């Protein structure tokens, strides 16, 4: 049985929900012979990496798909690159402000996602989901976690593929944000479900 670890974040920045966790927590736990483990991650620099790397070391998943909210984006964004830099104007949920500091001191400048980014985008699009490759996961907690997990996997020589998906706001979050795109929870859940299917079908011989 293959295990896929799916993570979502707590709400942040004054929002009362985070579509990443709302969608991840609704994923089915067993899809055929794939076990989907769902994990809530704190939106903090200090806690996010440890929360996910602890689960990777315990579960030895074939893949980890980290999911976060990218308010303002219209499609499912499959992130290609994580960079070794935290630089945000807003504090995390612990009140920490990180301005222009590395995620890992003396770590490599960047890591590329080890999930098949282009194949995921093509698979989503052919199934009717709005999806695109993104070349920046921002410089806030999402990029921090993405970089930290790829660094952990690389430095411990682990056999887990890792990637990051940014999802749009939910419709209810944009009720007072005229002109801002959103995506229904059902579509986000179905898109994440499709990503699991794409990954696990390509992982099989």
Residue 110 contacts residue 83 (beta carbons within 8 Å): yes
Integer Rg of the chain from CA: 16
At 151, is the secondary structure helix, strand, or coil? helix
CA 19 to chain CA centroid, Å, is 11
Nearest approach, Cβ of residue 202 and ligand PCA (Å): 26
Q: Nearer to ligand PCA by C-beta: 8 or 61? A: 8
Q: Which region, left, alpha or beta, applies to residue 129 given φ > 0 means left and ψ of -120 to 50 means alpha?
A: beta
Q: Is 79 considered catalytic here?
A: yes
Residues 6 or more apart whose Cβ sits within 8 Å of residue 16: none
- Tell me how many helices (H) and strands (E) the chain has: 5, 9
Q: Nearer to ligand PCA by C-beta: 62 or 188? A: 188
Q: Is 60 considered catalytic here?
A: no
Active-site residue identified among 10, 75, 79, 98: 79
Q: Is 85 considered catalytic here?
A: no
Nearest approach, Cβ of residue 141 and ligand PCA (Å): 4
Q: Nearer to ligand PCA by C-beta: 12 or 147? A: 12
Nearest approach, Cβ of residue 128 and ligand PCA (Å): 24
Nearest approach, Cβ of residue 18 and ligand PCA (Å): 5
Q: Nearer to ligand PCA by C-beta: 141 or 189? A: 141
Active-site residue identified among 98, 151, 152, 166: 166
Count CA within 13 A, CB hemisphere, residue 61.
29
Residue 90 contacts residue 45 (beta carbons within 8 Å): no
Active-site residue identified among 98, 142, 144, 152: 142
User: Which residues contact ligand PCA by CB under 6 A?
Assistant: 9, 12, 18, 20, 43, 68-70, 138, 140-142
Where in the sequence numbering do the catalytic residues fall?
79, 142, 166
């Amino acid at each position: 049985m293959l295990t896929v670890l799916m993570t979502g974040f707590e709400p942040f920045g004054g929002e009362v929900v985070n579509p990443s966790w709302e969608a991840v927590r609704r994923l089915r736990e067993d899809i055929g012979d794939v076990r989907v483990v769902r994990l809530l991650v704190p939106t903090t620099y200090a806690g996010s990496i440890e929360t996910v790397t602890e689960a990777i070391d315990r579960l030895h998943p074939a893949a980890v798909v980290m999911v976060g909210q990218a308010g303002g984006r219209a499609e499912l964004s499959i992130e290609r690159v994580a960079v070794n830099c935290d630089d945000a104007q807003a504090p995390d949920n612990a009140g920490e402000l990180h301005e222009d500091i590395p995620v890992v001191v003396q770590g490599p400048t960047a890591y590329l996602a080890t999930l098949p980014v282009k194949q995921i985008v093509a698979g989503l699009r052919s199934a009717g989901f709005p999806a695109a490759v993104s070349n920046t996961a921002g410089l806030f907690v999402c990029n921090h976690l993405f970089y930290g997990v790829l660094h952990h996997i690389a430095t411990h020589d682990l056999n887990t593929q890792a990637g990051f998906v940014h999802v749009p706001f939910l419709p209810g979050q944009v009720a007072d944000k005229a002109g801002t795109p959103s995506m229904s929870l059902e579509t986000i859940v179905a898109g994440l479900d499709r990503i699991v299917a794409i990954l696990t079908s390509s992982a099989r011989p």
